Structure 1
Amino acid sequence: MKRPITKVALLLSLTLAHTLALAQTTTAKLTTAFQKFEADPQMQNGIASLYVIDAKTGQVVFDRNSRLGLAPASTMKIITSISAYELLGKDYRYETKFALRKTGDNASLLIQPSGDPTFGSWRWSLTKEGNVLKGITQALQRTGIKSVGEVVVSNEGWNEETVPDGWMWQDIANYYGAGPAKLNWRENQYDVILRSGKQIGDPVLIVKTVPNLNGYTLRSELTSAAAGTGDNAYIYFPVGTSAAAIRGTIPVNESSFKISGALPSGANQFVSMLSDTLRTLGISMPHEALLQHKGSPQQGFTLFHTVTSPPMDSVVYWFNRKSVNLYGEALVKTIAYNSAGTSDTRKGLEQIRQHWKTQGIAETELAMVDGSGLSPLNRVTTHAQVRLLQHARQQNWYPGFYASLPQFNGMKMKSGTIRGAKGFTGYHKAKDGREYVFAFVVNNYNGSASALVKKMYHVLDELK
């Protein structure tokens, strides 16, 4: 006996057929667009990977080289962000503690940091250097101390090398190459104000640095270039000397041209600025700190002030919105320290790989050497990136993560750029209401990055 087809069953079958038809249409469009992209002269010696799934069903819409490890550039940050949410929690906060041990009219100051990358950052009112210094000085004044004889920074569990393996020499003295320490300050950055000449080839002068640098100087080997040539100035850390060199060019006729560098020691810069602030209040303190790597003194010290960071949600927001490499490296070190008692980046990355292994993602798909994507040695797959993005959609912290993604080409996605590598990964809701999760990474292209980006956008436009 035949059973009649109910209206509900008919509606479901029609809906499924419509969804499959849309998927096939999108797949066909992506196939044509991607083939054209691969045939472009800019891809003559390059390789591209694109992986797209339906966000609601998980159905694969397009797959080209999704299991091939490529240098992801800053699209690596979505892996670090999602992993930080998973392993640290959306409400995680850093604390920097200050304690005193009094000896008569003198005292020792103990600073107990926790790797907070936002300490002294200008991105939040509560973390701005002026507000942080004001809070500490007011708390110190309340203790009645007039002289601090020594400053000790507890550095247990953290190594002195702030730069991860695989970063390039040209990067590490510039602001985007600032590495994390246990005590960071002002995102371990400073600004340099430059004045160029009137003629091409004229020398460029250093006007000042903001803030004034402690125990570290700069010399300019810059020259003036044609108007409109932009910032082509790079800072190089000194070897065997305390004077860094700035090389390259800036445009002619610039009276206050700003570039930014990486502080060699955020801890010393912070202590120096705190000392200067206290001196105006009649309290003396050394300009440099002693880093205590083992057995930091605890006995006799009394806690008098604590600075607490914004929550993880807020840290991830700026990490992705402004692509702050320091934040990614600090998060990886924090994951390592919280799980293994050491800030070794390699241990943090191993924790991340092991976590995602339990979610079915092979360790070989996450061949990472840092947490920001600045290193050209990273190799991850677009398949892994999409899997993490899809996982994020199911979590209670997803709204914060989604909000952290910038918008490019009318799509919510993180971009990534290093020499020879470009990527976009994120989410998009099409006009027909269908939602996609995607990752698109290109390596070893030739020609300009801006020209390549337009062509990548043409491919991604098929999701609209």
Structure 2
Amino acid sequence: MRYFLAVAVLLFSKANLRAQQALPGLQKAFQAFLTDAQVRYAAVSLYVIDAATGKTVLAHNARIGLAPASTLKVVTSATAFDLLGSDFRFKTDFYFNGKKTGSGWTGDIYIKAAGDPTLGSDRYAGTNAAALRTRLTTALQKAGIDRINGQVKAVISNHDLQAVPDGWIYEDLGNYYGAGSSALIWKENQYDLVLKPGSKAGEPVAIISTEPAQSFSFENALSTGTRQSGDNAYIYPVPGTSRALVKGTVPCCVDSFVISGAVLQPNEAGVQAIQNLLQETGILRVQETTAPVIYDAAAPGTVFFTQASPSLDSMVYWFNRKSINLYGEALLKQLALQGKGKADTEAGIQLLQQHWQQRGVQTGEINIYDGSGLSPLDRITTTAQVNVLAYARRQPWYAAFYNSLPEYNGMKMKSGTISDVKGFCGYHRSRAGREYIFSFLVNNYNGSGSSLTQKMFKVLNELK
């Protein structure tokens, strides 16, 4: 018996040694990383496989769920490609309801809100405000209408009214990256706050304007920082009021400085913005207004215009390249709308988990609260992320998915950052022609995030 045990141990040791010899530099670099003071109290997970064979190259805590931050976006993207299709487009219908007299119309225009995250966005030529104004005007002219006495209203049905997912923290909610996914989205539910800093550190900061104009006011607790201090300003919505607190610092010695915030009442703000577009053309004349948003009702009247979003592959490009959290939440809700009849975050998560469970990823490995990774409650294993990336590589939509990934450190990968969390996951082809798929997550590190990033890159460089 002792002889057989000795042989078994010897064979196991040789097999393990061969795995190490495949990329000995990676093993060495990762062991050095684990001894670094920045991760002394951190949870670290790294999983690397050979893309061609699927064999494990390195696995450390690969089935321990950690907060993924924005690396979660690769899972949401792949799910959307698989369930919605590369050519999927959101469609927002505009309805007439009233009476036509000659070339005039007495009645309202209704927007059937569809959760389109690109409506009004300047990222695409066909979705910005100017393009929508032109298309609406053209559609009205084709219908023989050159003036409307009425107003614009939004109709919201089959959409969960909770724009912000569970688990997002208060500090994020007033800032652009914390914009919620409402039924009607306009300009990604963001606005710019234009500021005038002082000429030296410590001086007060003046608020010049908001672009576009917002219906709420600000409590200004900002001060001027040093020239190189950067943007350290944050916006906090004040519960139960139409006010927001803005505090922190912005750098001195500039004529103006812009920070971006999240619109507090996005459905109402979107209606007002589209109504303003039609008023600018001179077609719409608003004489009397009633509630601009109608809930749980069918849109009345007849469709005269449909605004289609760009295709999913275009949206995923910006979702991953610019890490737009709102896109992830909108896509998650669309999964639920298509699969269960109502745009609901929790239902979207369930469909996402079921989809990957059917493909070998256990539900417990994807334990999430949103589709973007902004929630610090999210947990995912590096094994799950790598399995999703490996699956994506075999799909017809892979080229679009791969193209959406940013390039950092000469590698195609999605990054993720929230408080004390850093992550990278993606693909890399070495100089020797071997392709690797990897996920690298660190939670609860200490010290500088930029310093940790360089140390993580040093480990990943061994894949080159």
Normalised by the size of structure 1, how large is the TM-score? 0.92
* Secondary structure, counterpart of 2:137 in structure 1: helix
Match of 1:11 in 2: none
**1:272–1:293 distance in 2 versus 1, CA, 3 Å:** closer
Shift of 1:287: 7.2
Q: Paired residue for 2:394? A: 394
Query: CA contact under 8 A between 2:45 and 2:60: conserved in structure 1?
Result: yes
Cα 1:21–1:436 shift into 2, 3 Å: farther
Counterpart contact for 1:53–1:61, Cα < 8 Å: yes
Aligned to 1:450: 450
Distance 2:65 2:98 in 1: 56
Question: How far apart in 1 are the matches of 2:352 and 2:427?
Answer: 22
Deviations 1:315-349 (A, max 9, x none): 10000000000000000011011111222211100
Q: Which amino acid aligns with 1:156?
A: S
Q: What's the Cα RMSD here?
A: 1.8
Tell me by how many angstroms 1:288 deviates: 7.5
Report how many residues are paired.
Answer: 442
Change beyond 3 A, Cα 1:329–1:297:
closer
Give the AA of the match of 1:359.
Answer: R
Aligned to 1:87: 83
Structure 1 stretch displaced more, 154-163 or 368-377:
154-163
**In the TM superposition, what is the alpha-carbon distance from 1:129 to its structure 2 partner?**
1.6
Decide whether aligned partners of structure 1 residues 156 and 164 sit closer, same or farther in structure 2, where only a CA change above 3 A counts: same
Q: Relative to 1, partners in 2 of residues 1:84 and 1:261: Cα closer, same or farther, differing over 3 Å?
A: same
Corresponding residue of 2:253? 253
Q: Of the candidates 46, 63, 85, which is equivalent to residue 50 of structure 1? A: 46
Give the letter for the 1:391 counterpart.
Y
Q: Secondary structure at the match of 1:441?
A: strand
Query: Paired residue for 1:292, among 281, 291, 294?
Result: 294
SS at 2:148's partner residue? coil
Question: Which residue is 1:123 aligned to?
Answer: 123
Check the 8 A contact 1:106/1:145 in 2, yes or no.
no
- Once residues 136 and 257 of structure 2 are traced to their aligned partners in structure 1, the CA distance between those partners, rounded to angstroms, is 33
Task: Answer whether contact 1:151 1:288 (CA < 8 A) is retained.
Answer: no
The match for 1:7 is: none
Q: Where do 1:413-432 residues align within 5 Å?
A: 413-432=413-432
Kept in 1: contact 2:151–2:284 (CA 8 A): no
- In structure 2, the residue matched to 1:187 is 188
Deviation at 1:21, TM superposition (A): 10
Matches within 5 A, 1:72-111: 72-103=68-99, 105-111=105-111
In structure 1, the residue matched to 2:139 is: 139
Alignment CA distance shift 1:37-1:21 (3 Å)? closer
> Alignment partner of 2:170: what SS?
coil
Does the 8 Å CA contact 2:154/2:271 hold for their aligned counterparts? Answer: no
**Partner residue in 2 for 1:169:** 170
Choose the corresponding residue for 1:66, options 32, 41, 62: 62
Per the alignment, residue 202 of structure 1 pairs with 203
Partner SS state of residue 364, structure 2 = helix
How far did residue 271 of structure 1 move?
2.5
**1:23 Cα deviation from its structure 2 partner:** 5.7
Residues in 2 aligned to 1:154 and 1:227: alpha-carbon distance in whole angstroms: 47
Q: Distance in 1 between matches of 2:365 and 2:258?
A: 40
- State the AA in 1 paired with 2:312: M
Measure the CA separation in 1 of the matches of 2:401 and 2:452: 27
What TM-score, normalized to structure 2? 0.92
Deviates more, 1:328-337 or 1:149-158: 149-158
Q: Tell me, which stretches of 5 or more residues in structure 2 are unaligned?
A: 1-15
How far apart are residue 255 of structure 1 and its match? 1.7
- Where 2:396 maps in the other structure, the secondary structure is coil
- Which amino acid in the other structure matches residue 207 of structure 1? I
Q: Aligned letter for 1:311?
A: S
